Structure 1
Amino acid sequence: MKKILGILLMFTVLFGGCSSLTTKSRRLVGREYILIQENSIPNVLIGFDDHNFYGFSGLNNYFGRYEKKGNRIKFEKLGATLMAGSDKVMKMESEYLEKLDLVQSFTLEDDVLTLNLKDGSNLKFKENKMVDKKLK
């Protein structure tokens, strides 16, 4: 697990870039959020640095780039590890990752991040307070 996280961190450093972020953008950067939807896989999370996102989707780690303008956000170039598990968890994980392609905007109120999907549904996350916020 540490090896995978190390690889993800390496990708983040290699493909990250410099940017002039607004204060609201910085609220995403350096933070991780845990999915709090009902009937979801436990411990699903998403985290952000300057232009990259990463997370854990139930069985696998995932990562990619995101573009943000105001409250509009688009996730791109999603990659993931290829661990297998029970059919139920693999199906739930696949559905979650597919929803990331449908995200079009977000809201961030206090420590709750809501990703709004094109179909009108959303994904709700709560900030993971255990993360070291060195990137803030």
Structure 2
Amino acid sequence: MKKVMGLLLMITILFGGCTSLGTKKQKLVGKEYILVQENSIPNVLIGFDEHNFYGFSGLNNYFGRYEKKGNKIKLEKLGSTLMAGSDKVMKMETEYLNKIEKVQYYSIEDDILTLELNDGEVLKYKENKKLEKK
């Protein structure tokens, strides 16, 4: 009986350890991500603290609170600075900020953050490795 229990324990440990061989899931908090969409403003980013999100949207910094449960996420109370720029960049920035308010789901696989909007559109970001961790 002891041999059977020992064998079951070894199998459990072996297969339990194999789960880390698949795609690497990462946490949201303490990370910043750069938008990698085509036709987007350069250097657009989003980051997450314990209950707040923040970022740069092309001309302005933006910020707000978020709530998440499982893979559902709601970004709310969006605010931003009020810098002006070219009409083209200001329009793209406004469109991006409107999308942020429509985010419903998120997922992180490897270094890619995907935010899914309520209309099915997705925003893809890559982890900003330049963020210095203190």
TM-score (norm 2): 0.80
Moved over 4 A (4+): none
Q: CA RMSD in A?
A: 1.1
Equivalence for 1:70:
70
Q: Which runs of 5+ in 1 are unaligned?
A: 1-23
Equivalence for 1:6:
none
What one-letter code is carried by the residue in structure 2 that aligns with 1:124?
K
Equivalence for 1:96:
96
* Number of residue equivalences: 110
1:113 aligns with 2:113: yes
What one-letter code is carried by the residue in structure 2 that aligns with 1:54?
Y
What one-letter code is carried by the residue in structure 2 that aligns with 1:125?
Y
What one-letter code is carried by the residue in structure 2 that aligns with 1:128?
N
Shift of 1:101: 1.0
TM-score (norm 1): 0.79
Equivalence for 2:129:
129
Equivalence for 1:20:
none
Equivalence for 1:53:
53
Contact 1:31 1:133 in 2 (8 A): no
**Structure 2 CA distance, aligned partners of 1:40 and 1:49?**
24
**Structure 1 CA distance, aligned partners of 2:39 and 2:122?**
14
Contact 1:52 1:64 in 2 (8 A): yes
Shift of 1:133: 2.9
Shift of 1:27: 1.3
What aligned pairs does 1:2-17 form with structure 2 within 5 A after superposition?
none
Q: Which runs of 5+ in 2 are unaligned?
A: 1-24
What one-letter code is carried by the residue in structure 2 that aligns with 1:116?
E
- Aligned-residue sequence identity (percent) comes to 76
